Amino acid sequence: MSGEYGSETSTIRTAVLDVLGEPLSIGGVARLIGCSAWSVRQTLVPMGLPHFRSGPNGKLIFYRSQIVRWIQSRQEHSVTKRRRH
């Protein structure tokens, strides 16, 4: 029975990783985007960069697919806005 539970947990983890992507630290996000960790924390998080805080004073956790989708949506919004003017 424990083998089934482990298999189910593995399947759920795989499904979550498919949707969210791999977890990234703030440094990982900075490398992905091509900026500093300071810019991620001070500029992009307040702009709505999706993240999860591991506890009240915990570290920020980001997920690759969410970051990529957020960037794409901002780029699409920017292009649409420029076309209107």
Which CATH number does the domain housing residue 74 bear?
1.10.10
Give the closest residue to 65 by CA, choosing from 29, 13, 12.
Answer: 29
| Mean pLDDT confidence for 11-27 | 85
pLDDT band at 6 (very low <50, low <70, confident <90, very high): confident
What does pTM read for this prediction? 0.74
| Mean pLDDT confidence for 5-32 | 86
Q: Which domain holds residue 45?
A: 2-84
How many domains, in total, are found in the chain? 1
pLDDT at 1 over 70: no
Name the pairing type of β-strands 52-53 and 23-24. Answer: unpaired
